[in-house]
A and B are shown apart, each in its own frame.
Chain A
Amino acid sequence: MSIVVGYIPSPEGEAALERAIKESTARQARLIVVNSSKGDQLVDDRLIDAKQHHDLEARLTESGVDFWIQRQTQGIDAADQILQVAEAQRAELIVIGLRKRTPMGKFIMGSVAQRVLLQAGCPVLSLKATNDW
């Protein structure tokens, strides 16, 4: 069994990763970290570079879970990428970070998280960067 987590280097991403590590330790499941960029921007800070990849690896090794990092530099968008990996791995849980967004912001920007929530075939755990209450 495995757990898929969508990771980007941001507070939301960090929160999701932390929680995913906890979950996979508790469930003895394999952790698959997905980081991707559609590759249609010249500059994309959400994609981890070699150094961040290395740090991430060190951190996961230290936590003692069985893990796999899937880093996609170009092609499909993040939601499709997460769903694809989750389906291929028959994931028991998907963990994603959410940003607070107003309905208007959602309308304009679209949402990766919404698509994952609606289309996933397994439970999805979504969380904010901080626990506000």
Chain B
Amino acid sequence: MNNKYRLTMQEMTKQYPGCIANNDVTLKIKHGEVHALLGENGAGKSTLMKMLYGVVKPDQGDMFFNGRIMNIKEPADARDLGIGMVFQHFSLFETLTVAQNIELALGDLAGHSSTLAGRITKTSTRYGMPLDPHRLVSTLSTGERQRVEIVRCLLLDIQLLILDEPTSVLTPQEVDALFKTLKSLKKEGCSVLFISHKLHEVIELCDSATILRGGKVSGHCIPKNETSESIARLMVGDNTPISNQTRRALGTADFLTVNNLTTAAQALFETPLKNINFAVQQGEIVGIAGVAGNGQEELLKVLSGEQIQASSSAIKFKNTVVDALCPLKRRRLGLACVPEDRLGRGAVPTMDLAQNALLTSFDSGLVKNGFLVKQKITELANKIITKYKVKTPSFRTHAASLSGGNLQKFIIGREVEQSPKLLVMSHPTWGVDIGAQVAIHEAILKLRDEGCAVLVISEDLDELYKICDRIGAICDGKLSPILNTDTVPLVQLGQWMAGDFSDVFNNQPKVHTPQGALA
């Protein structure tokens, strides 16, 4: 085999019942390059990585590492070869320190405990991401936790680092820091495989890219010579719209007002909300950015009524104080909710789409004298399926067997069809393919134009800049000011996300939105 490549995966095929996750996929990564693996959800990226890391066994295909054939049976074999992987979801124990976590994960490879802390400090500073080995993981920010995972890989003699969607949990500033680290790794000859769907980051960072679509390689490119649009085309194919017209709007009158909302933590590691003030007007979309775990979940729960504040009067729908009202009463005041977990909160996985349509639409004439009106329920399900282009064999399909994007289209369609006065959404397009994303944004914008007050809580800044009329950020349970989107530069929003609510307008007057926003 050619020794020019760090890693060669040749004609990899993996078949699952009912689908081919990878079909004849070839991936080649050179020494010391940052290689991007791109593709929509379901394109086969995860399967390919799982085969490389020894988590699943390929049906066909050969893998070579530094020109030698790889024989990987389990992740430990991959680690021994010098392959490190940082997963999207961290595997850290919150109640242990950084050093303890690393020692636990590396086992014998960690060396002696007494020297480990020193090595952690040394390695982490060398790559520009300082870490205190004695701090408890529970006190670290998401970005710092990611550093722990990366340092854990770097402590071993690593030749290939795989990062799965590493920037989705970071603030723009943290992303910059990560990219510096990756570039210095690259200089030392380490190869990096960067899995992402944020195209502007790929263009900025990566030397080459392999694009997957439907389990097959749909193209290779040098990202620097491409635009976000041309790469997106390779990802989605020719027939899917990748952008839609967005226009800003001004609200009319306040619908949701939140005054001095403060909550107590209900469980360990929950973020209490601290003195939150904001309003959402009818006919506008307000976006709240923030890194996961900064109080978004808690905010959604107090707004939806899943968590009831018995003795306060901070939240008002129009003129009604709703703090003590149960979710049902709030719903009847015009609230609709789209939670981030679409399976398990937004929809019941093992129920079919008709039943899932009924789940929250029970007030739309589907129930008569306590009895279900089956015909109306299926009518509604079919209406949502056709109107929101949900790809499904029929309304009898279980929610769990729909793809993430299709299920999300269904859930949003279900809520929108109830013509709510206030729609609260958390990560509406998380893990959703571009086509569905466009459709979802279209539905939200249309609802706004009909006069609904919309609140979007998201980590996806591109999305927020694209659809929101006003924008702010939440950090550690505190909310930044909420200003017109076009007057908030990305740098400002990044500062807010990091908890610095001081004004940077004076020294950063230039308005700047992310390059890669598919708008």
Q: Answer whether A and B are interacting partners.
A: no
Chain B interface residues (CB < 8 Å from chain A): none
